[in-house]
Structure 1
Amino acid sequence: MEANTLDLVDRNQKTHKSEKAGENQNSDRISCLPDSIIYHILNFVPTIYVVQTSILSKRWKNIWISLPYIDFDDESVTDATGIEHSDDETLALRNKFRNSVNNFMLRRASSSTMSIIKFQLSTYCQFHGSHINEWISAAIRAGVLELDICIGNIENDLDYRLPSCLFNCKSLVTLKLCVDDVSFRFLDFFCFPNLKDMHLTHVILAKNFHHQLLNCPNLEKLHLDEFFIDMDPVLPSSNTFQDLTAERRSRILSNLDDAFIGMKCNHQSVGREVGRWLGTFIRKLSNVKTLRLSYASIKLLQYSQPCLLNHDHMPTFCNLKHLDLEVGGKDGDVVEILACLLQRSLDLQSLHLRYVFGSSWPRNWHGTLKPEEYLSNCDQHIRKLKKITVGNFWGTEKQIELVRLLLGNLRLEEITVQLHTTSYESLILLRQKLLQFPRLAKLVLLYETSEDEEDEEVIEEIFNVT
């Protein structure tokens, strides 16, 4: 009896120890993961919080030093979104964020040889440009692959320039720069031999920018939004790259697949010289598969180069499959540019027209040809175009006329119209007008049932016309 009791107690003790060991083993399963997986997990956490994991255990003490994904966002430190602070509090929060970034970058540079895969900085605190340049320079020295900088404010912004080490960074694969309310000029001379993605927003570009892009032979995606062009001559200095030869100026970006050109216009940039610059720039993009042009860009082309079809200003887009254009609801002169692009897009498969609100321009359509004459020869050039999408369609006379012209000259399989109306009467009227268009096989209507975002529901109606 005693022997059986002792055996039972012994088995219970072993079972309890085994369960306890299992609990201890499962209590910190993340620490048992390899560094590569832990780094991937920490990629989704702001870097400021990653540093705090150093107090967890010896395993975590120095793991943040070699972090390949670095993300600094001043909201994670200041928690200032939507909160009003006194001047002293704002200054203290700004200094806290600056010191956190400084300490991290200094410690990492002195203790780790691992490359930085991605360095992301988003701040609306007002910093001196020297601080931002120090952080960018540190990332470049660490062989950064992706640089994503979003800046809200800079002290003495008129004097701010990017660090010179960025001019010819050989490691960069992705470069994203966005500034807000800052007079920020991009590099006049640059060379990024491995760059594949360039995304610039709210910047001033030099007159030779499109020539310098040829120093990015592997560029696949280009996104230029809300940018200005400084048309003053660019004078290279001894510490910058010399401008390209005339022979290289004529080349195109042969690896570019996707491009968005969103020029920003003011009274100073509405000139023929800027439009001619844009026309030259677009010739560099003739190899793209997807091309998107903002309303201002289209109007600049039209304003500076009237009667485009009578001149060989536009290149032939042999690989263009998707064309996305912003058009104004009150302008008819977009037909000229549209027809010009259609006739020079030999492999086009889809066209997306997006109407923009509040669009205005000092010049209305005064072409030598009527709109239907511009589109009359498109059919023989774009045999593969089968689908058109029209966004923000509110049914003005010019909008309906443009759709009629397109359908009258093209053999489409489908047209999708996103109606900008919640009125049932307007919906019925627009539906009837669209269904009367010729050469239409399938009509898809998209509209919202309510203007309230919380209650809105997108309705899709499909009509097989033929």
Structure 2
Amino acid sequence: MSDQMERKRDRISNLPDSLLEHILTFLPTKYAVRTGVLSKRWKDLWISHPYISLNDDGLIDRMAEITEFRNFLDKVLLHPQARVKKFQLSSEERLETPTFSRWFQAVLKEGLEELNLNFGIFCNAPLSSLTACNTLVTLKLDFGALSGHEFPIAFCFPNLKTMQLNGFLLANNFPHQLLRCRNLESLILRYFMFSHMSHDPELDCFEQKEALPNLLNAQMDCSYVFRGKDSARTFLKNLINVMSSTKNLSLSLSIMEYLALDRTFPDDMPKFDNLKHFKLYLQSFHVGAMSYILQRAPNLESLHIEFDRPYGSAHDTLMLEQLRFCCSTANLKVIRMTNFILEDPVLELVQLIFESVGSLEDIVIELVERPKLNNFPQLQKLSKLSRLSKDSVLHLKWDFGYPFRLLLPSSMDVK
């Protein structure tokens, strides 16, 4: 009888609060909350759950109304014992300013290590309080590509390692504020725009030369057109300088357009001594910008070129010769070409690269569409392009379902 009673005894509930709270950290938030119905002993333990990760559809299947979801978050975040280290919230519903403000103020304090907010429909999010947090390590904010929210002009996160912003207006002092995040390792800026309304005119002529020392990964995906706007060009120049110590860099088409068309920029472009992997979006008139990158990245090993339509034959002889020289001095091991267009101007550019780079080991080409009967001559021409690096292997990829197989050289893999 005593053995049966021993087996029925709830030994877990008799553990100290600190151990039970530690156990709850391994559970998703919604399951940690459910432990409150086990007994009086468990009723309020979930309140101190330091890792809160919620999405509205995950809870609405158990709650009849959106208001219940909001009331639930109020109870969790505004509880006096709450000590949030990680706050991840994904919502497809519209959040009004008062709702967002009270949640934001509740979690944004010392002790917070990760803030990850993803909203489908959002309005008037007040981010002015997002200025300083010594413990913040990860910051991911996605309010939609066209949200148009202004990121705070002044901020300081000394221990921040990851910053991902999607759809924000950035003031021209943003690059200078980034330097206050000295431990930043990953910086991803998507669909950002330059804010003309909130910037310091004195910074329009200021040249930023300092870079983030620990940056490993940087991505700028921007639809904004920088041409013809001096303040915007200065902002972009400073931002690229701040990123110049990174090992991995990706630049969107609009930024490549700026590099290609701004005649004053090449002379001021920083050196990318640590850069190993570079991705660029390419149209014909970006060839000059591609040369500048190759020339200033002496340790580049991997180049990813994504072609963008329309692609024309706007190559002048001087520009092509400059590219040939830059390729001949590069130490590239891998070239990947995606969204590849089987057209003669593209093949001419590829031939120049193949004939100039002697260190290539792998060439990966992914066609924008599967081959058709009318472009098989270009495909054959591609397969026969001479390569300075005799040991390099060309990997050609297209739709597996296409029934025709082209006879290719032994140095080519078809996938």
Note whether the superposition's TM-score is higher than 0.5.
yes
Contact 1:335/1:374 (<8 A) preserved: no
One-letter amino acid of the structure 2 residue matched with residue 445 of structure 1: L
Paired residue for 1:336?
A: 288
Matched, 1:78 2:60: yes
Paired residue for 1:227?
A: 192
Task: Count how many residue pairs are aligned between Structure 1 and Structure 2.
Answer: 399
Contact 2:115/2:140 (<8 A) preserved: yes
Match runs of 1:15-414 below 5 Å: 24=8, 34-35=19-20, 38-42=23-27, 45=28, 47-58=29-40, 60-79=42-61, 93-107=65-79, 110-112=80-82, 115-141=83-109, 143-155=111-123, 157=124, 160-164=125-129, 166-180=130-144, 181-232=146-197, 234=199, 249-265=208-224, 269-273=226-230, 274-303=232-261, 305-306=262-263, 311-327=266-282, 331-356=283-308, 359=309, 369-382=317-330, 384-411=331-358, 412-414=360-362
1:280-309 deviations in Å (ceiling 9; x for gaps) = 321221111100111122112223x1386x
Give the CA deviation at 1:127. Answer: 1.7
Give the CA deviation at 1:429. Answer: 4.5
SS at match of 1:200: strand
Counterparts in 2 of 1:60 and 1:442: CA distance versus 1, 3 Å: same
After alignment, is 442-451 or 68-77 more displaced?
Answer: 442-451
SS at match of 1:147: strand
After alignment, is 130-139 or 143-152 more displaced?
Answer: 130-139
One-letter amino acid of the structure 2 residue matched with residue 197 of structure 1: T
Give the CA deviation at 1:49. Answer: 4.5
- Between the aligned partners of 1:36 and 1:395, the Cα distance in structure 2 is 60
Contact 1:279/1:301 (<8 A) preserved: no
Counterparts in 2 of 1:65 and 1:449: CA distance versus 1, 3 Å: same
Give the CA deviation at 1:391. Answer: 1.3
Counterparts in 2 of 1:366 and 1:447: CA distance versus 1, 3 Å: closer
Counterparts in 2 of 1:276 and 1:400: CA distance versus 1, 3 Å: farther
Structure 2 stretches lacking a partner, 5+ long = 403-407
Paired residue for 1:4?
A: none
Counterparts in 2 of 1:73 and 1:368: CA distance versus 1, 3 Å: same
Contact 1:129/1:154 (<8 A) preserved: no
Paired residue for 2:405?
A: none
Counterparts in 2 of 1:55 and 1:228: CA distance versus 1, 3 Å: same
One-letter amino acid of the structure 2 residue matched with residue 139 of structure 1: V
Scaled by the length of structure 1, the TM-score of the pair is: 0.76
Contact 2:188/2:218 (<8 A) preserved: yes
Contact 1:259/1:292 (<8 A) preserved: yes
Counterparts in 2 of 1:316 and 1:464: CA distance versus 1, 3 Å: same
Scaled by the length of structure 2, the TM-score of the pair is: 0.84
Paired residue for 1:5?
A: none
SS at match of 2:398: strand
One-letter amino acid of the structure 2 residue matched with residue 386 of structure 1: K
- Between the aligned partners of 2:155 and 2:137, the Cα distance in structure 1 is 14
- Between the aligned partners of 1:337 and 1:463, the Cα distance in structure 2 is 34
Counterparts in 2 of 1:129 and 1:409: CA distance versus 1, 3 Å: same
Across the aligned residues of Structure 1 and Structure 2, the Cα RMSD in angstroms comes to: 3.5
- Between the aligned partners of 1:368 and 1:445, the Cα distance in structure 2 is 28
Structure 1 stretches lacking a partner, 5+ long = 1-13, 81-88, 237-241, 452-460
Contact 1:287/1:317 (<8 A) preserved: yes
Contact 2:21/2:48 (<8 A) preserved: no
Give the CA deviation at 1:129. Answer: 1.9
- Between the aligned partners of 2:162 and 2:58, the Cα distance in structure 1 is 27
Contact 2:128/2:152 (<8 A) preserved: no
Give the CA deviation at 1:426. Answer: 6.8
- Between the aligned partners of 1:125 and 1:231, the Cα distance in structure 2 is 30
- Between the aligned partners of 2:139 and 2:409, the Cα distance in structure 1 is 42
SS at match of 2:307: strand
SS at match of 1:418: strand
- Between the aligned partners of 2:300 and 2:240, the Cα distance in structure 1 is 17
1:363-385 deviations in Å (ceiling 9; x for gaps) = x8867654421212114532x21
Give the CA deviation at 1:325. Answer: 1.2
- Between the aligned partners of 2:270 and 2:242, the Cα distance in structure 1 is 9
- Between the aligned partners of 2:196 and 2:175, the Cα distance in structure 1 is 12
Give the CA deviation at 1:431. Answer: 4.4
Contact 1:445/1:462 (<8 A) preserved: no
